[in-house]
């Protein structure tokens, strides 16, 4: 286990792209309210946001142990923005991620510090949406494979390989993730996956390094409702098609990372992604978002989807 100083140092990476004032400020207030005895440096990466991050930071009062660094870049998407923050977080013991429209409860970083103190490399927790629905309860029925952690009654060691929870349905959102910097190493987000899948490729990369994982049964994060690139544009829109394309590409990347490991499970996930991609391309074509030549070019660029295309097309045409 990597040792850290008695007062650990956290780096918090916040990618920022919003069109409504006040959202980032709420997220930063939640960082300032953390009850952990630690040095916290927040890296806010303004990804050419319509609302300037500087406006959100002006006049913001922070406790003595919390500082904020504003970084600016041309618009590159959330992965590129997180990478910019990570490139500056070189002296931290632990790296935490927070989306600009989410908020932490005050115990989040102290819980992560406690988990790291007993040997974890990777800490995450449950989270809830604005309606109070809890992620773990919804997707796992609160039955994650966890064993007890001495001294931490609210948490458990993950007893199944973490990769099982990155290739399909993750344990949680990035806003609930804290990792040891030594685990992070050279791992970065793929900036070409601008609308989907960059988090799964990133966490799969970390999972294959065999980290010790502690999962909190408590809720550490409250999800917000700012700009969400995963919900912009309805079915058949250009935005939806781009998400399907990035999602498919991310699953191809994950399959490459895994090699022969988990080959059966990832194979099924890839086929599902390919079917979704073809269905989205067809919907875009029907709505006029993609012309005939563009529709044909899709299959020329992604020839591997040709195997599932006939079934998807037949199902669509016979409804």
Specify whether 215 is located in the same domain as 243: no
Looking at the DSSP bridge assignments, the partners of residue 13 are 43, 97
201, two tokens: 């490729």
Q: Decide if 227 is inside a domain.
A: no
Domain hosting 104: range is 9-222
Neighbours of 316 (CB within 10 A): 13
Specify whether 79 is located in the same domain as 195: yes
Please give the C-alpha separations between residue 38 and each of 90, 112, 113, 119, 123, in angstroms, as whole numbers. 16, 11, 9, 18, 16
Please give the C-alpha separations between residue 109 and each of 31, 32, 115, 211, 301, in angstroms, as whole numbers. 9, 11, 10, 19, 44
- The pTM of the whole model exceeds 0.85: yes
Q: Decide if 252 is inside a domain.
A: yes
> Which of the listed residues 161, 195, 222 is the one where a domain comes to its end?
222
> Which of the listed residues 222, 256, 271 is the one where a domain comes to its end?
222
Size of the chain, expressed as the number of residues it contains: 319
User: How many independent structural domains does the chain possess?
Assistant: 2
> Which of the listed residues 170, 194, 222 is the one where a domain comes to its end?
222
Specify whether 211 is located in the same domain as 295: no
- Per-residue pLDDT 10s for the chain (319 aa) are 444 457 899 999 999 999 999 999 999 999 999 999 999 999 999 999 999 999 999 989 899 999 999 999 999 999 999 999 999 999 999 999 999 999 999 999 999 999 999 999 999 999 999 888 999 988 888 789 999 999 999 999 999 999 989 987 788 899 999 999 999 999 999 999 999 999 999 999 999 999 999 999 999 999 987 655 445 556 557 788 889 999 999 999 999 999 876 656 788 888 888 888 888 888 887 777 777 777 777 777 888 887 887 777 657 656 6
Specify whether 200 is located in the same domain as 251: no
Give CA–CA dist 316/169, Å, rounded.
27
């Amino acid at each position: 286990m990597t040792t850290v100083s008695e007062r650990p140092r956290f780096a918090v990476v916040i990618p920022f792209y919003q069109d409504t004032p006040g959202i980032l400020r709420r997220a930063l207030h939640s960082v300032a309210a953390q009850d952990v005895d630690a040095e916290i440096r927040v890296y806010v990466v303004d990804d050419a946001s319509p609302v300037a991050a500087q406006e959100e930071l002006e006049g913001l009062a922070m406790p003595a142990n919390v500082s904020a660094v504003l970084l600016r870049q041309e618009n590159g998407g959330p992965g590129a923005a997180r990478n910019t923050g990570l490139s500056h977080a070189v002296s931290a013991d632990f790296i935490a991620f927070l989306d600009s429209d989410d908020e932490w409860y005050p115990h989040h970083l102290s819980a992560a510090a406690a988990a790291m103190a007993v040997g974890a490399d990777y800490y995450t927790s449950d989270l809830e949406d604005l309606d109070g629905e809890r992620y773990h309860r919804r997707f796992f029925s609160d039955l994650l494979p966890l064993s007890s952690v001495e001294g931490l009654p609210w948490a458990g060691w993950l007893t199944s390989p973490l990769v099982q929870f990155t290739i399909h349905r993750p344990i949680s959102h990035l806003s609930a993730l804290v990792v040891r910097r030594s685990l992070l190493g050279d791992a970065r987000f793929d900036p070409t996956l601008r609308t989907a899948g960059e988090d799964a490729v990133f966490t799969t990369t970390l999972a294959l390094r065999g980290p010790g994982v502690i999962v909190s049964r408590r809720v550490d994060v409250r999800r917000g409702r700012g700009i969400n690139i995963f919900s912009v544009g309805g079915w058949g829109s250009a935005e939806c098609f781009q998400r399907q394309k990035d999602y498919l590409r991310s699953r191809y990347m994950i399959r490459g990372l895994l090699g022969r490991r988990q080959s059966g499970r990832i194979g099924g996930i890839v086929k599902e992604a390919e079917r979704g991609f073809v269905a989205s391309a067809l919907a875009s074509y029907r709505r006029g978002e993609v012309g005939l030549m563009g529709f044909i070019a899709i299959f020329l660029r992604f020839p591997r989807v040709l195997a599932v295309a006939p079934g998807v097309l037949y199902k669509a045409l016979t409804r």
